Chain A
Amino acid sequence: MYFLKRVALMIPLMLVISFFAFGLLHLAPGGPFDKERAPASPEIDRALKAKYFLDEPVWKQYLIYLGFFPRKTPGLLQGDFGPSLKYRDHTVNDIISQALPVSMTLGVLAFCFALGVGIPAGFYTAARKGRWQDFAGGFLVLLVICVPALIVGPILVLIFGIEFRWFPVALWESPLHAVLPTVTLGLYFAGRIARLMREGMLTTLHAEFITTARAKGLSETAVLIRHAFRLAVLPVVSYSGPLLADLLTGSFVVESIFQLPGIGVFLVNGLFNRDYTMVVGLVVVYSFLLLVLNLIVDLAYLLLDPRIKYE
């Protein structure tokens, strides 16, 4: 019931978001056709604007964009983001369907990298609490957390791309191309997760059921992995929502460093070009992804911890 309500709430929310993005963009001076190479004659300009309904008042343009009228053209409500005003041979749907897989792949890879490095690192440092491994790990984690992607990226390129030539430094073609972007994007989150995991483990190890497990004579490994881990990983799960959100937006910088054809690049270019439909479309897609991801995380939380109940 709670989740049905959440899903139902998403629809008006998406409408509000698209409305704000749409209104804000149209508020800005300048239009999508200002940067055309040859200045068009007034007739051509007028015809162009009329074709994309830019001569209508903004509220009407929004309704057209949503797909209320004219009758035959589908709009946002039918899942059509309209034609791009800059790349006029493509619709925004085309561009999203090309660019989204790139961003999503990068995001998923970085997510796996962050979990794959962060969880074992946090687990290990917690198990070795107070020894040198813990301190060394703690220092590395702090370093990784405080150095943002926009520094890590160029430095990785400098070392592994230019100095050693192990990995290509830009573009998105073979699996090798994905290595540096994934590490750049995932490193910070690996640090955050390692920290959460370590704290989670340390708190859990104080719990009474751990003492019971030890008293039963279970081996330390079994106590740590079978009993402590399951509860200690919960903070990591609840961080996964914001983590995915940050991965999505963090990929902007990474896409720009490595020249990847993801949606971040199209969004920024769209803004510079006043490509109304493109920007609104991408903002809507971004927000939709975020809302869905948050919902999934809440569901996962419910499955992992039987004590939690949503109203």
Chain B
Amino acid sequence: MSKTGVQNTAQTGAGRVLSPNQRAWVQFRRNPVAAASAIFLMVVLALVLVWPLFGSPAFMRLLPKAMTWSPNALSDSQFSSPGAEHWFGTDVHGRDLLSRVLYGARISLLVGAVGAVVSLVIGVLWGAIAGYVGGTWDNAMMRIVDVLYSLPSIVFVIVLISTLEVYFKDWVSRLFGPASGGAVRMLLLFAGLGAVSWLTMARIVRGQVLSMRARAFVDAGRALGASHARILLKHVLPNVSGVVIVYLTLTVPSVILYESFLSFLGLGIQPPQASLGYLIADGAANLNAIRVYWWLIVFPGTALAATLLALNFLGDGLRDALDPRESRG
């Protein structure tokens, strides 16, 4: 890794001009922490996606038994401590904790990713329109963002989710059958968390678009007869994409954190589904002074903390590489 880094510097030194994206890539690879985080996240993602296959008969013969438990299989061995049979131990219903942590990580990552995409769509559209149109509209739209910033957004998500859920559940189960009821909570979480996480994105995109709008290529585009939508989508937004990617990476951990927070309070993911936050809440509920089931907190907690840490490192690394304003030499 360090070798390629040296080579690239040598090439830049020799006068080969790199595009901004290439330069960002070189800088990103020179940051070992961010690169390690990216690799860690890819491993987690692969593990989380491949894991359900391990329960199939073909894999069961090849793998150690501890890797083949199903996250929802109940057993008589309640609260057994970590060992050869169950690497992470078992919970109150005798379910294997390792498989539950992976299952929870899957849901947490899914909620984080979808919530971040929802916030991306709203934030970029809001910010781009405000920045591009400018004037009174810009003023009004940004004032709304300011006001929303000053409100306890998580309180509103809680109110939103717990009130709309029953309403939607009825409606969805009439449309798609009773089995779809559990998905409603997930959809509401996606929407709700996305809806409160777009504010920073909108502010940043608006600032960037505002400065792009004054550039000559926008005037050139308009002189050539391009429509506003075309200028915005084809010329302005691609130039903002670097910053957007950075803040998207940083939104994912904050949405995951929000979700685990809601699940902890009993307002997020509902059993039998489980997210990392739900597992931690479960572990906290089983805390008592007589027998200490430390594994119920430590393993899901470590998984959540490691994921958040890696996502934050990745986001910081990308910001150093892609965001021109934050470049630190």
Which residues of A approach B to under 8 Å, CB–CB? 13, 17, 20-21, 24-25, 27-30, 142-143, 145-148, 150-151, 153-155, 157-158, 162-163, 169, 245, 248-249, 252-253, 256-257, 267-268, 271-272, 279, 283, 286-287, 290-291, 294
Interface: B150 (CB within 8 A): yes
Question: Which of A28, A154, A249 meets B152, CB within 8 Å?
Answer: A249
**Which residues of B line the A interface, CB within 8 A?**
147, 150-152, 154-156, 158-160, 162-164, 166-167, 170, 257, 260-261, 264-267, 277, 280-281, 283-284, 287-289, 292, 294, 297-298, 301, 304-305, 308-309, 312
Query: How long is the Cα–Cα vector from A232 to B204 in the complex, in angstroms?
Result: 24
**Contact assessment for B163 and A151 in the assembled complex, using a CB-CB cutoff below 8 Å:** no
Chain B residues contacting A142 (CB-CB under 8 Å) are 309
Give Cα distance in the complex from A29 to B165, angstroms.
9
- Given the known interface contacts A158-B297, A267-B158, the answer about A25 and B260 at a Cβ–Cβ threshold of 8 Å is no
Could you tell me if A279 and B283 are in contact, using CB atoms closer than 8 angstroms?
A: no
The answer to whether B154 touches A249 (Cβ under 8 A) is: yes
Distance from A311 Cβ to chain B, minimum over Cβ atoms (Å): 12
- Give the chain A neighbours of B308 by CB distance below 8 A: 146-148
Contacts of B292 in A (CB 8 A): 158, 162-163
Query: How many angstroms from the CA of A157 to the CA of B298 in the assembled complex?
Result: 12
A257 to B297, CA, bound (A): 13
**Bound: A145/B265 CA distance, A:** 21
* Contacts A146-B309, A253-B261 supplied; 19 other A-B pairs, CB < 8 Å: A25-B159, A27-B163, A27-B164, A28-B164, A28-B167, A142-B309, A148-B304, A148-B305, A155-B298, A157-B287, A158-B287, A162-B289, A252-B154, A268-B267, A271-B159, A283-B152, A287-B152, A287-B155, A290-B150
The 8 Å CB contact of B158, one of A162, A248, A268, is A268
Interface contact A268-B309, CB-CB below 8 Å:
no
With A24-B163, A158-B292 in contact, is A151–B280 under 8 Å at CB? yes
Is B265 a contact of A253 with CB atoms below 8 Å?
A: yes
Contact A283 B264 (CB under 8 A): no
**Across the interface, which residues of B come within 8 angstroms of A157, CB to CB?**
284, 287
- Whole-angstrom CA separation of A150 from B277 in the bound complex: 8
Given A146-B308, A150-B260, A268-B158, CB of A256 within 8 Å of CB of B265: yes
CB neighbours (8 Å) of A252 from chain B are 154, 261, 265
Question: Is B265 within 8 A of A24, CB to CB?
Answer: no
Q: Which residues of B contact A169 (CB under 8 A)?
A: 287, 289
B266 partner residues in chain A, CB cutoff 8 A: 268
B280 partner residues in chain A, CB cutoff 8 A: 150-151, 154
Nearest-CB distance from A78 to chain B (Å)? 24
With both beta carbons as reference points, the residue of chain B lying nearest to A280 in the complex is identified as B159
Q: Which of A25, A154, A268, A290 contacts B301 (CB 8 A)?
A: A154
* Residues of A with C-beta under 8 A to B264: 150, 253, 256
Contact status A267-B167, CB under 8 Å: no
CA distance A310 to B295 in the complex (A): 53
B312 CB → nearest A CB, Å: 6
What is the CA–CA distance of A256 and B267 in the complex, to the nearest angstrom? Answer: 12
Q: How many Å lie between the Cα of A13 and that of B152 in the bound state?
A: 13
Q: Is the CB of A155 within 8 A of B301?
A: yes
